[in-house]
Amino acid sequence: MDLGHYAPLGAEALLTAVSLLVVLVGLFTKGRSSLPGYLSLAALIVAMWMVLTAETGTVFFYDSLRVDGFSQFFKAVFVLVSLLVVIASLTRYNGRPGGDEYFALLLMATVGMMVVASAIDLVSLFIGFELASLSTYAMAGFDKTKKNLEAAMKYFLYGAASSAFMLFGFSMLYGMTGSTKIADIAGASLAAFNPAILIALIFVVVGFAFKMALVPFHMWAPDTYEGAPALVSALLAAGSKKMGFAAAFRVILIALLALKLEWYMAFAILAAVTMTVGNLVACWQNNVRRILAYSSIAQAGYISIAFVVLGVASEGMTGPNNLPLDQYALAGGLLLVLGHAIMKTGAFISTAQVASIAKNSEDPDDISNYAGLGRRAPVTAFCMTIFMFALAGIPPTAGYFGKFVVFGSAIYGGLVWLAVLAILNSALSLYYYLRIISYMYLREPAGPKISESKGYVLSLLLALIGTFWIGVLPDGFFNWAMQAAAALLP
Amino acid sequence: MISNAISIMIAVPLVGAVLAFLTRSRGQARLVALIASLVPLALALQMYTEFDKSSKLMQFVESYNWVPSIGVRYTVGVDCISFPLVLLTAIVSVLVVIYAWGENHRPNQFFALLLLNEVGVLGVFTALDFFLFYIFWEIVLIPMFFLIGIWGGPRKDYSAIKFFIYTHVASLVMLLAIFAMYFTYRLPDGSRTFDMLTLLQATSDKTVFPPGLINAIFAGLLFGFLVKMPAFPFHTWLPDAHVEAPTAGSVVLAALLLKMGGYGIFRVILPMLPHVDKAFVTVIAVIGVLSIIYGAFLALAQKDIKKLVAYSSISHMGFVTLGAVAFTWLSIQGAMFQQFSHGIITCALFMSAGTIQHSVGTRIISELGGLADRMPKFASLMLAAFLASLGLPGMSGFVAEFMVLTGSYATFPVYTMLVVFTSVGVTAGYHLWACQKVLFGPILKKYLDIHDPHAYEILAMSAIVFLTLLFGLQPALITDIMGTAAHQVMEPVVTLSQMGVI
């Protein structure tokens, strides 16, 4: 066997090996060593480098995994999110009993997501999905408080249901086309229209929609994000949710090309309802993590606009500078995915910082704990403020640029109503983001000044740099996203 | 001239804002702020000496590729329309820092935000790419939100959020209109551009922009600018924001932020005016007239001196709207001068209100009286400011409003006479009434131990009164530039009658 051939999968192999190693280290040191955290950190940094430099365009394991620009983009997002979460987790979990398991699960989850990004076969896709899901189910209940367990339970039940839907859809597709290869299914569905494919499609969409937390399949997300340990919520909202998008882009786009018209309308409605409901409900929340959860639902709605545009984009439709419209829309979706991953990770890590200092409180994430944070924890508050403005789409940040491309693609595609609705939603979202900011800076402090944990601060600053980097110098990221999109489109 | 003057002008306050934020004491923060705001002033004055007042072209232009994949460039430059406002921004920013010299509540953040504000406003006035323009337009909201929210009065939370959301929604409507232009127009090589001048030029092309579309774009942009100005009936965010903002915030808000709306009218709306539905002209003129009259009457009814000044701003900005849309050479020139003049005068008005609040502890007019007795220096400056605001000949406000009214008469005789007969009297009335009540008469017993404000407050106000007189007596210093600007705007079509409006 020529091992060199598998070099593009090196990042996955490395992370898998290190996750096993971490468990061993934990076993021999009874979980008291601080080695697991640093090992994971080093592994993720190396993995990031491997992902970015991997040779693309290769297919592995009997056409079931493909390393291309698209998978590379998503893998970079996943590794980045895990990296930020690991840095923040060092102070919280490293060297504590159970810490080794935490880091091992986190690496496993990352590998699962990376497999999904590469999967071009329904079976490997499902395996990746389940690997990531099972790891994160365990992580959601990691601190074993009552809230944790409830969150983990809800997440598990909904996740299992979504897997079941998805698997049923897959099995129907397999039954009708005789193949689990996404490309074969695409060919078969193009060749002959079969109404049963539509039913399969509905099941698959429902399965993915759970993961992406699109309305009305979003119910679990606020409860889970609120109840899970905050750092795990960061991983869920920024990482495993994006896994849903990675899968949906690949499967729906390619496999069901023939049914374009049907799914474009479905996604238009899903997107419109998702962003509106997400934003409206967020205005009513008093728990910051719930606000972030609903905001992340709304953001999923914005990203879904890319699906809709892909549905209407026909041959020859172009965006700016004669770029093909479908590629432009998909690139916009990818930019939103990347930007949202960074901003949301940062925002959830900020909540983790606040929760760690909100002592003697029934609800550590209640917005009242954020009063005067600007003076109690200046760095956290400052970063959180930037993330809030960025999520609201205020320039010059990642949030603005991503929205600019996606909303613009909707206008190009003739979906002006959707673009207008999205922009109005953006304005609406400002209300709850400003509310958090106003608590942090406009209220009297709710407690004494505290020392901010170094791990959290480092991770927040990295996310902050990312947020501005994409916003101020978007060209490189845009071109990268365009290449990633080109790799996926037929 | 230093190359990249405009970029340096924007960059220095930005760096200054970061440095000021990192300082540990009030002394350091305000020193950083002063230096960082003096640099743009020095550059602006240097530019003034080299500025070609007769040229209709952009000057000091810098242009770099920024996001080439979607046609965004970093392009800045000034012409006769924008240069006076750049100058105004540079002057006001320094004076605000001086006026706020004694700020002791979180001074590092306070001065950093003032500088950040300057960055945004300078950017808006110099950006020549819609993408860049929008970024600066939005950046301005952030420091103002915090200035109101942290240093504001009792209802600061409500006012800050209302200010942000109200004006942000207006900006988004403007953004949609910008999108519509960007997505409709292609350069000859098929690519897209955000270049402001190119897009505005393109709006005259009826094959690219059919009448329905151009009207929609125009309405969207107009809405964005009228809210910012603010014009009746979109003015309701302003009194809240002003009343709750700290003095320096109010000054920046009235002197600079409102001017962004007016600038939008000159830069974007007027070049498009010949190509849109002629009914817009009447609508805008009516909005201007109503703002003037309604603002004046509202000011007359106020009990709080700061509210009075806030509503008077609506009235004075109405002259900008009216003069701009009357579209004669004199009226446009007057409207531009009104922007500049109001920018200066309003500083002195809000500083007066602020100083009274700081020294006496209340701004309620009926609780004040005879302050001139104990605060003679302040009283003379406040009186001068109020007289300038009501339009006393010899001061800049008179020149501006006179030019607007004379110029507008040719186009809108009825509206102009309506303004002359209703608002001029009322304006004089509330200004004089407020001065008389606050400054003169017997001093109230409880105010026997108050005294003139700090030297820095007097210094800032004196500088403004001096400028008011300077531009009142020698308006040509700056109206030369506006005259060229008015020609520039009107060049494609000379008058409204030639456009077929009247």
CB contact under 8 Å between B164 and A430, yes or no, is yes
> Would you say how long chain A is, in residues?
490
pLDDT in tens, B344-358: 999 999 999 999 888
The rounded distance, in Å, linking the Cα atoms of B101 and B424 is 36
Q: Shortest CA distance to B30 belongs to which of B362, B460, B466?
A: B460
Sign of CA dihedral B10, B11, B12, B15: positive
- Identify whether the C-beta of residue A119 lies closer than 8 Å to the C-beta of residue A64: yes
Query: Which chain B residues have a beta carbon less than 8 Å from that of A323?
Result: 69
Both tokens of residue B366? Answer: 């009926």
- Indicate which of A429, A438, A472, A479 best probes the interface with B, i.e. most B CBs within 10 Å of its own CB: A438
Beta carbons of A320 and B180 less than 8 Å apart = no
pTM, to two decimals: 0.91
Q: Give the distance from CA A180 to its chain's centroid.
A: 25
Per-residue pLDDT tens over the stretch B226-254: 999 888 888 888 888 888 888 889 999 99
Residue B349, token pair as written in the block: 């008005």
| Window 461-480 of A, Cβ < 8 Å to B | 474-475, 478-479
Q: Does B283 touch chain A (CB under 8 A)?
A: no
Note whether B164 contacts A: Cβ–Cβ < 8 A: yes
Please state whether beta strands A58-60 and A65-67 pair in parallel, antiparallel, or not at all (unpaired). Answer: antiparallel
Strands B59-67 and B72-78: antiparallel
Collect all residues of chain B within an 8 Å Cβ-Cβ radius of residue A438.
149, 157, 160-161
- Position B225 scores a pLDDT of 93
A412 touches chain B (CB under 8 A): yes
pLDDT of B276: 87
Note which residues in 114-153 of chain B have CB less than 8 A from chain A.
134-135, 138-139, 141-142, 145-146, 149-150
Mutation target among B14, B24, B69, B141 for the A interface, most CBs of A within 10 A:
B69
d(CA B27, CA B30): 6
Confidence of residue A1 (pLDDT cuts 50, 70, 90): low
Per CB-CB distance under 8 Å, the chain B contacts of A412 are: 183
Say whether B149 and A442 touch across the interface (CB within 8 A). Answer: yes
Q: Cα separation of B77 and A397, whole Å?
A: 24
Mention every residue, 6+ apart, whose C-beta is less than 8 A from residue A395: A401, A471, B134, B135, B138, B139
A-to-B residue pairs, Cβ atoms closer than 8 angstroms: 83
Residue A316 backbone dihedrals phi, psi, to 5 degrees = 90, -10
CA distance B45 to chain A (A): 30
* A411 contact residues in B (CB cutoff 8 A): 179-180, 183
Q: Does A414 touch chain B (CB under 8 A)?
A: no
Residue A31 has pLDDT above 70, yes or no: no
Interface test with A, best of B14, B18, B21, B67 (most A CBs within 10 A): B67
Is residue A7 less than 8 Å (CB to CB) from chain B? no
Interval A446-488: pLDDT, tens: 777 778 888 889 999 999 999 999 988 998 999 999 989 888 8
Contacts of A374 (CB under 8 A, 6+ apart): A381, A382, A440, A441
Let me know: does A236 contact A176? Beta carbons within 8 Å: no
Look at residue B499 in the predicted model and tell me its pLDDT. 60
HEC secondary structure over A165-226: HHHHHHHHHHHHHCCCEHHHHHHHHHHCCCHHHHHHHHHHHHHHHHHHCCCCCCCHHHHHHH
Closest CB to B67: pick one of A412, A443, A475.
A475
Do B69 and A475 lie within an 8 Å CB cutoff? yes
Please tell me which residue of chain A has the smallest CA distance to B156: A442
Q: What is the mean pLDDT of residues A10-29?
A: 88
Alpha-carbon distance of B173 to B183, in angstroms, equals 15
Taking the CA of residue A107 and the nearest CA in chain B, the distance in Å comes to: 36
pLDDT at B218: 93
| Rounded Cα gap, residues B465 and B467, in angstroms | 5
Question: Which residue of B179, B199, B217, B244 to mutate against A (max A Cβ within 10 Å)?
Answer: B179
Interface test with A, best of B183, B199, B227 (most A CBs within 10 A): B183
Pairwise pLDDT comparison (A79 vs A202), residue with the higher score? A79
Nearest to B149 among A412, A424, A438 (CB): A438
B interface test, pick of A279, A421, A434, A464 with most B CB neighbours within 10 Å: A434
Residue B7 distance to chain A (closest CA, Å): 16
Residue A76 scores a pLDDT above 90: yes
| Nearest CB partner across the interface for B157, out of A321, A405, A438 | A438
Which residues in chain B have Cβ-Cβ distances shorter than 8 Å to A441?
A: 146, 149-150
- Please report, rounded to a whole number, the percentage of residues in chain A having pLDDT higher than 70: 95
pLDDT, one tens digit for every residue, chain B (502 residues): 677 889 999 999 999 999 999 888 888 999 999 999 999 999 999 999 998 888 888 889 999 988 888 888 999 999 999 999 999 999 999 999 999 988 888 888 899 999 999 999 999 999 999 999 999 999 999 999 999 988 888 888 889 889 998 899 999 999 989 988 988 888 888 788 899 888 988 888 888 888 888 999 999 999 999 999 888 888 888 888 888 888 889 999 999 999 999 999 999 998 888 888 888 999 999 999 999 999 999 998 888 899 999 999 999 999 999 999 988 889 999 999 999 999 999 999 999 999 988 888 888 888 888 888 888 898 899 999 999 998 888 899 899 999 999 999 988 889 989 988 888 888 888 989 888 888 888 888 887 788 888 888 889 999 999 999 999 999 988 888 998 988 888 876 656 666 655 5
Cα four-point dihedral sign A367, A368, A372, A375: negative
Q: Quick one: pLDDT at residue B92?
A: 93
**Residues of chain B neighbouring A475 (CB-CB closer than 8 A):** 66-69
Angstroms from A430 CA to nearest CA on chain B: 7
Give the nearest partner residue to A434 out of B164, B175, B176, using CB atoms.
B164
Would you call A441 an interface residue with chain B, using a CB distance cutoff of 8 Å?
yes
Mutate which of A441, A464, A482 to disrupt the B interface (most B C-beta within 10 Å)? A441
Q: Which of residues 38-77 of B touch A (CB under 8 A)?
A: 66-71
Chain A residues within 8 A of B168 when measuring between CB atoms:
427, 430
Is A360 a residue whose pLDDT tops 80?
no
Distance, in Å, from the CA atom of A44 to the CA atom of A357, rounded to the nearest integer, reads: 28
Chain B residues close to A322, C-beta within 8 Å: 190-191
Residues of A in contact with B14 (CB under 8 A): none
Per cent of chain B over pLDDT 70 is: 98
Contact A405 B146 (CB under 8 A): no
The A residues from 306 to 325 touching B (CB cutoff 8 Å) are: 320-323
Q: Is A368 on the interface with B (CB under 8 A)?
A: no
> Is B169 an 8 Å CB contact of chain A?
yes
Enumerate residues 6+ apart whose C-beta is below 8 A from B58.
B77, B78, B79, B128, B197
User: Which of A321, A394, A438 lies nearest to residue B192, judging by beta carbons?
Assistant: A321
Residue found by looking up tokens 């499609």 in the block: A201
In chain A, residues with a C-beta closer than 8 Å to the C-beta of B66 are 475
Q: Could you report how far apart the first and last alpha carbons of chain A are, in Å?
A: 31
- What is the overall mean pLDDT for chain A? 86
Helix (H, G, I), strand (E, B) or coil at B189: coil
Res B493: pLDDT: 63
pLDDT at A304 over 80: yes
The shortest C-alpha distance from A125 to chain B (Å) reads 33
Residue of chain B with shortest Cα separation from A393: B138
